[in-house]
Amino acid sequence: MAELTPALAKAVTDQVTLELKASLVYLQLAIELDHLDLPGMAGWMRAQSEEEQVHAAKFIQHALDRGHAPAIGAIEPEELKADSPAELFEAALAHEEKVSAAIRELYRTAQSEGDLDILPLLHWFIDEQVEEEASVGQVVAQLRLIGDDGAGLLRMDAKLGERSPEITPDHED
């Protein structure tokens, strides 16, 4: 397998940093949901945080396999306070949309650099991001329907609390 070009090495390194930032965003969202006494939703966010670390590990391993050691960049915290679970999940969706846009840009960089070796990984991530946005988007839509209904919110909390974390780097959906 050919080494990464400098442009692609930078793009992969930037993506690693973004995936780790996504992990921290989800962890902060989990903290906020724990503060709202919604342990199921908080657990869902923690599982998502762990999944983002797996995503970073996939990019790191690909780069290492190709002779590049990515250096994690600075991660600036985001203000994620919200008044409702719906607003917290809306913040999660907005961050997923940023990650999706970055992966599409990484794909464009790979194309312009003529790098075919990274395309299978990027195809997996494109599919994953479609799934991620749909999943979080569905939760947002359901929380909007529930509104201030306490019983509905508790049912949603219990449902989301059923999610199991997927923390192995080899995890494939």
Domain parsing of the chain, residue ranges = 6-73+82-160
pLDDT of residue 2: 87
Annotated binding site for Fe cation: 19, 52, 55, 96, 129
Q: Classify 6-73+82-160 by CATH class.
A: mainly alpha
pLDDT of residue 165: 59
Q: What are the per-10-residue average pLDDT scores of the chain (173 residues)? A: 92 97 96 95 96 97 96 89 91 96 97 96 96 96 94 95 63 42
> What pTM value is reported for the model?
0.90
Q: How far apart are CA 118 and CA 102, in angstroms?
A: 15
Annotated binding site: 19, 52, 55, 96, 129
pLDDT of residue 83: 84
pLDDT of residue 137: 97
